[in-house]
Amino acid sequence: MMLNKYKKIRLTGKLLRELNEKIYERDSCHCVICETWIEEGVKFHHEPLKSQGGQDIESNGVMLCNVCHNERHFGKDTQDYKERCKEYLEGLYGTK
């Protein structure tokens, strides 16, 4: 049996708000896909998805507007949106 050697990071409260603010500022208050301005306080998107092991760390989060966030999860081009988010993060933090 293979054990996961990394403890999943799940933040709440003040720490999660601080992380969200950090990602919001890093992404210049804009959607990383379409560059639409995003209102402060909108929660970042996990890439990879939280259900697939996404952790609450800066290198796993991107700001997406409501339209692109919906497309990322439910649109016909969801794989393209996923790749664009991944490429953006790899450009900032390198390949995982």
pLDDT tens for residues 26-76?
A: 999 999 999 999 999 999 999 876 555 678 899 999 999 999 999 999 999
Buried b (16+ CB within 10 A) or exposed e, 28-51: eeebbbeeeebeeebebbbbeeee
Side-chain-side CA neighbours of 59 within 13 Å: the count stands at 8
pLDDT of residue 4: 53
Tokens encoding 34: 């379409």
Most confident of 5-9, 18-22, 43-47: 18-22
The three-class DSSP label of residue 30 is: strand
Domain extents for the chain?
Answer: 14-93
β-bridge mates for residue 37, sequence order: 30
